[in-house]
Amino acid sequence: MADKSTSNKGGDWLKQLFNEMMRPPKWMKDGKPGTKKPTGDGKKAEADVSPKPKKRQPPAWWSWSQSDGVPKSRQRNRERPIRSRQVKKNNSPVKKERTSKSQGRLSQSDLGSALPGSASDLHAQIRRHGFNPTVLKSYKITPTKVEPFGPVLRLRTNQGLVSLKKCDLRSAHVAFLHQALQHVEKQKFTRFAPFLLTSKGLPYAQIGGDTYYATRWLRGQEVDFRSMPQLALATRTLADFHKASRGFDPSGYAPPSIFDMVDRFNDRRDELVEWKRRASIKSRPDDIDKIFLKHADHYIAESDTALKALRRPQVRSHLLFEEDDPPLLHLDLTPYNMIYTPNNQVALIDFDFAAFGPRTLDLAHLMRRALQRHEWDEAVARHALVNYGAISPLTPAEYMILSGLLRFPHRFWRIGYQHYDIDHDPNHLGYFQLAEAEEPQRLRFLDDFEKQIARIRRT
């Protein structure tokens, strides 16, 4: 947990931070753990963890959302009929993709050694996990060992450690992601898992109607947001990625941008109202219905407060301005998708949800996850904002957006979505109780944060 002795130094910490243009203030130099000034691209001196991270393991119960204190996610098609970002038309024949500089072959230390067992045994293992082993021919890889890691397979191959994924994306979408990573690499951002190309020079393979893609496997462990140095590295990596992604102009398909935040969060607010209606008309409400009804009005009011912040004229003006040269967002910043590597860097993986949008959406997701682990200690928010701002300072309008995004009751909404729209699981009661327990701390932080932002608006 963050050192609380720093959390009350300087009542107007956010105003101080803004006025100093994100220069690390005095309280960032007091020598406490996690407050060392970062140097370079995530140097060793900034991390207070072992130089040899433990082997990354898949969670016992795989869920991208588990780190948020919400139940295991099951996908539902929630796409909105929104306008796609304008892209250049490309009617020319498909060209062979350029090989990424960081793609190549892996280091000799990563190469898998031959293990006993026939190829047919390994192919049978791959089939058991729902993958078609024919995809291996597309990449000309020969596995010597197969290990499931959640939605992907880790393969020890003649090309080193490889992550193989069967995804729900169209081939054009995977091509978009590959183009995006090529763009950020040209801007000197290389902290990601690059795509491997097939023998046809494509970043994907289509086998039996399914789309696959393979990337290099990054050694390391998932980021621990309880570690302030790792949080600093993660935040700086995110800022570097956002900065490097500007100017990306894809040829071909691009996913819809997500600048319509007000509409999206208004839809979620309406869902809370609908779930309240369903729970209230039950003749025999269960314990989950009772705890949901107990807090529904409060969280609907919190949603209204969040929407009010996102509807401010300054916010609308900023979003229109940023839409002209938008950054690319990751949009799935769970610890499992941010890897703390043995060379003391944080790298990003799994860009399946990446799309153009306001960078504060990514930053708010990262901050919320870190704040939840530190009982909503303002020192954690300060630490994240200083490290992000050291790369790319935020504007006053972006602080207002952060306020609205953090105010929205994401955890309560997410649990309700899982319970009322996906699966009536009795274990959801514990998740609602967790949201109930953290609410006083969340509100104290948000009230103070909004006071700080109000002072910035008056400057």
- Residue 215's DSSP bridge partners are 163, 195
> What is the model's pLDDT at position 269?
98
Q: At what angle do helices 228-245 and 378-391 cross, to 10 degrees?
A: 40
Split the chain (459 residues) into runs of 10 and give each run's mean pLDDT.
47 63 43 40 36 43 43 49 48 47 43 52 92 94 93 91 96 98 98 97 96 97 97 98 98 94 96 98 96 98 98 96 96 96 97 98 98 96 97 96 98 97 94 97 97 80
Q: What is the secondary structure of 25-49 as a DSSP string?
A: -GGGSS--TT-SPP-TTT-GGG--S
Domain 221-457 indexed as CATH 3.30.1320.10: no
The arrangement of strands across the sheet holding 338-340 comes to: 221-222, 338-340, 346-348
> What is the model's pLDDT at position 455?
82
Tell me the CATH architecture of domain 119-216. 2-Layer Sandwich (3.30)
CATH 3.30.200.20 residue ranges of the chain are: 119-216
| Cβ-contact 403, 385 below 8 angstroms | no
Q: Alpha-carbon torsion 343, 359, 170, 262, what sign?
A: positive
Report the distance separating Cα 422 and Cα 281, nearest Å: 19
Please return the burial class of 426, using the count of CB atoms within 10 Å of its CB with bins 0-12, 13-18 and 19+: exposed
Phi, psi angle pair for 164, to nearest 5°: -115, 130
Report the distance separating Cα 247 and Cα 357, nearest Å: 13
pLDDT digits (tens, 9 = 90+) for 208-242: 999 999 999 999 999 999 999 999 999 999 999 99
Residue whose entry in the numeric block shows the structure tokens 């393991």: 57
CATH 3.90.1200.10 residue ranges of the chain are: 221-457
> What is the model's pLDDT at position 93?
46
Residues 6+ away with beta carbon under 8 Å from 223: 230, 231, 233, 234, 335, 338, 339, 340, 346
> What is the model's pLDDT at position 114?
41
Alpha helices in 187-334 (DSSP H): 228-245, 261-280, 287-310, 313-322
Q: At what angle do helices 228-245 and 171-186 cross, to 10 degrees?
A: 100
The number of residues making up the chain comes to 459
pLDDT digits (tens, 9 = 90+) for 83-115: 445 545 454 444 444 445 554 444 433 434 344
